[in-house]
Amino acid sequence: MGGSGSTPQSEKPAPPPPSPEFAKPWRETPWDNKELLEKNLRELKLSDPNVKYIRILLAGEVGAGKSSFINSVNSVFQRRITTEAIADNAGAGGTSFTKTYRTYYIRNGPSVLPFVFNDIMGLESDYSPKESRGANKGDIAKAKKPRGAHPEDIAKALEGLLKEGHNFNPIASANKNDCKSETSLEDLTYCLVYIIAADKVSMMTHDVIQKMRYIREKASSLEIPQAVIMTRVDEVCPLVKTDLRKKIYTSKKIKEKMQECSNSVGVPVSHIFPVKNYHEEIDTQNDIDVLILRALTQIVQIADDLVNRRKSDSGNC
């Protein structure tokens, strides 16, 4: 009866879910050129021969993987898993494991490579969610107290003023006894790198984001280039966990998180590099190495651009 053969609207099949992937990688990666990437960094010559090495300052939230990134870089060049920078289990204790200002050198046989890293105390929110949950504004204000790296300490590190071994104090910035009266070319920071965990970027508190933006403004005033290393990519995307090489730049989730990083700290996506730190592996792996080497190459290049500008500026004085 009636029988037009049409399917009622309520019985139409639901449209297929959108694909979690792009049709092809949106960023080219030299997966088969690991040896060349490594060779170029080992043989790197800086624009100014008076600069022995470029200093890269790492900043980020507790548990983002700053120390693990240093270890991963060192592992690439040593071709074995190393633990030069002692790292906690992703900030499991809720507070920064790094307490002192220290320079990490990457060994190249009997010498060191012309770039070094400085790890600092992690950034933390100035109040604990547990302390403020269910409290009124007055009580929340009372619960607030300085935690993590003092933003002024990071500002001083950017200028090369912090002494090696300075003990971070969330309550007070370094005094004159903890600062250098004079700085050399090697003391200066040539690139500020934010370490941000892909699976935690959505959970960064307003406090932490504001601290990052304050640091960004300070770095910008000093004309220091900035980049982002986005860690834990395998934890935020199952596709990447299954196949790092094929999925890292086809995953829509990874690109979405990179854009989120860009929106949070103001660094363009072109200067954001997703990587996987060494964590549970006992041997180095080509694909992990290539992502780290590719990111490091870009960071060192933009840092050397600053070396060149400072050399030109000093020559014009």
- Position with higher pLDDT, 275 vs 133: 275
Q: Is the pLDDT of residue 90 over 50?
A: no
* Tens digit of each residue's pLDDT (9 = 90 or more) over 145-189: 767 778 888 899 999 999 888 888 777 788 888 888 888 898 999
Helix (H) or strand (E) holding 221: helix 206-221
pLDDT at res. 94 = 53
- Retrieve residue 94's tokens: 């809720």
pLDDT of 91 > 90? The answer is no
Q: Is the pLDDT of residue 15 over 90?
A: no
d(CA 189, CA 22): 37
The span from the first CA to the last CA of the chain, in angstroms, equals 95
Contact call for residues 116 and 53 (beta carbons, < 8 A): yes
| Mean pLDDT for all residues in the chain | 87
pLDDT at position 92: 45
d(CA 112, CA 246): 33
For residue 98, the SS3 value is: coil
What gap in Å lies between CA 111 and CA 43, rounded to an integer? Answer: 12
Q: What is the average pLDDT across 92-114?
A: 79
Residues in a beta bridge with 54: 115
Q: Where are the alpha helices (DSSP H) in 185-277?
A: 206-221, 233-236, 238-242, 244-247, 252-265
Task: Compute the half-sphere exposure of residue 28: CA atoms within 13 Å on the CB side of its CA.
Answer: 3
Average pLDDT of span 5-32: 83
Name the token pair of 145. Answer: 């107290």
Q: Which pLDDT value is given to residue 219?
A: 95
Cβ atoms of 65 and 195 within 8 Å: the answer is: yes
CA 273 to chain centre: 8
Q: What is the 3-state secondary structure (H, E, C) of 20-54?
A: CECCCCCCCCCCCCHHHHHHHHHCCCCCCCCCCCE
Dig out the tokens for 260 from the structure. 């989120």
> Cα–Cα distance between 265 and 59 in angstroms, integer?
12
286-295 confidence digits (pLDDT tens): 999 999 999 9
Is residue 298 classed exposed, middle or buried when 0-12, 13-18 and 19+ CB atoms within 10 A define those classes? middle
DSSP state of 10: G
Q: What is the pLDDT of residues 180-213, one digit of tens each?
A: 888 889 899 999 999 999 999 999 988 889 889 9
φ, ψ at 280 (rounded to 5°): -110, -5
| Residue range 217-262, pLDDT digits in tens | 999 999 999 999 999 999 999 999 999 999 999 999 999 999 999 9
| Helices and strands, counts by H and E, the chain | 11, 6
pLDDT band at residue 5 using 50, 70 and 90 as cut-offs: low
Query: What does pTM read for this prediction?
Result: 0.87
116-125, 276-285, 307-316: which is most confident = 276-285
Query: Helix, strand or coil for residue 202?
Result: helix
For 46-55, 138-147, 185-194, which range has the lowest pLDDT when averaged over its residues?
138-147
